[in-house]
Amino acid sequence: MFNRKVFGENKAFKSLAPHMVKRLGEIFKDIDLDDKGSIDVEKARNYNAWVYYSKKITHLDAEKDAMDFLNECCTIEKKKDKLYLEEWLYRFAILYTVEGGKEIYKQFLDDYDAAVEDRGTCRSCYNNDV
């Protein structure tokens, strides 16, 4: 069973081309506002509020979505609510392999790019009213 799990994880990671891994790493670093190498609830909430600013998302909704996201994605520190780059990449790799995942991945990038074009990077908006 362990070998199947490792094989499955290896296959998932290989689903992302090097340029995709690089791009996702850059976005992760933009969200990781204090450069601690992880995304917590506050950073994920800030990201949601920043990227969905034009849709008038409330801070409460941004935080709920952030908590749901972390609960789903955190595996290394499940109860500590920190998402590390490796988990971030792994979750995107899994997403990319499932039906409809490529479209969700593309929409994520499109939303990110539109927010950067409209408002600057997430990092540049940190501690501003978003």
Please report the pLDDT score of residue 3 as a whole number. Answer: 41
Which of 103, 96, 99, 44 minimizes the C-alpha distance to 70?
44
pTM of the shown model:
0.83
DSSP reduced 3-state for 80: coil
Instruction: Tell me how crowded residue 104 is: count the other CB atoms within 10 A of its CB.
Output: 13
Residue located via tokens 């994605």:
73
Residue located via tokens 């499932």:
98
Domains of the chain: 2-125 (1.10.238.10)
- What would the two tokens of residue 93 be? 């790799």
**pLDDT average, residue stretch 82-105:** 92
* Cα–Cα distance measured from residue 121 to residue 91, given in angstroms and rounded to the nearest whole number: 22
Torsion angle, alpha carbons of 113, 68, 15, 111, to 10: -10
Please report the pLDDT score of residue 117 as a whole number. Answer: 95
Roughly what angle, to the nearest 10 degrees, separates helices 101-119 and 41-51?
80
- 8 versus 59: the higher-pLDDT residue is 59
Q: What is the pLDDT of residues 63-90, one digit of tens each?
A: 888 888 888 887 766 656 789 999 999 9
Q: Does the pLDDT of residue 130 top 60, yes or no?
A: no
* Cα–Cα distance measured from residue 125 to residue 127, given in angstroms and rounded to the nearest whole number: 6
Q: What is the pLDDT of residues 7-38, one digit of tens each?
A: 445 666 678 999 999 999 999 999 999 999 99
